[in-house]
Structure 1
Amino acid sequence: MSENNGSGGKRLLRLRDGRMVAGVCAGIAAHFKIDVNLVRLGFGIFTVFYGIGVLAYLVAWAILPEEGEDNSILETFVRKL
């Protein structure tokens, strides 16, 4: 589930529970309190009709930290440079 950040708001995370690939859809669904299948359907529709669903998923995978981690994959990569 989403965790609180330092300013008292919820932090969007990739979840480990309920994931099919990287936990992006599960994290978005938990954060906005909607059904995970609706989020997956949305990514599918954007992939089929607009061709950007996969790109959006990859961007979210790179910028959203995994549950229990402080940094995203992108943040970790940039700090190593």
Structure 2
Amino acid sequence: MRKLFRSKTDSKITGLCGGIAEYFNIDATIIRLIVAISALFSFGTTVLVYFIATLFIPKAAYPEQPPYMGHHPY
């Protein structure tokens, strides 16, 4: 089962659009354009939903970072 996370690698403001794009496997620019156009026509509702979603959707961990095992490799 896939989970939705905010992206750390594809982040402009909070990483929410990047995380949604990774979840649906599409370009983040498309999501950002949809959010921007929606924000213009929704009288601020989209901005409110965006920041509420940012509070509830967790930030993704770096996949290339190994877990801490209690010692340093150097």
Q: Which has the larger radius of gyration?
A: 2
**Pairwise TM-score range, normalised by the shorter structure:** 0.7 to 0.9
Gaps of 5+ in 2: 62-74
Identity %: 32
Stretches of structure 1 that go unaligned for 5 or more consecutive residues are: 1-8, 69-81
Deviation string for 1:11-37 (max 9, x for gaps)?
A: 000010010011000000000011101
Looking at structure 1, the residues matched to 36 and 30 of structure 2 have their Cα atoms a distance apart, in angstroms, of: 10
Q: Which runs of 4+ in 1 moved over 6 A?
A: none
TM-score in terms of structure 1 length: 0.70
Q: Which has the higher helix share?
A: 1
Q: Tell me if structure 2 keeps the 8 A contact 1:26–1:36.
A: yes
RMSD: 0.9
Give the TM-score of the pair, scaled to structure 2.
0.76
C-alpha displacement of 1:46: 1.2
Q: Answer whether contact 1:14 1:64 (CA < 8 A) is retained.
A: yes
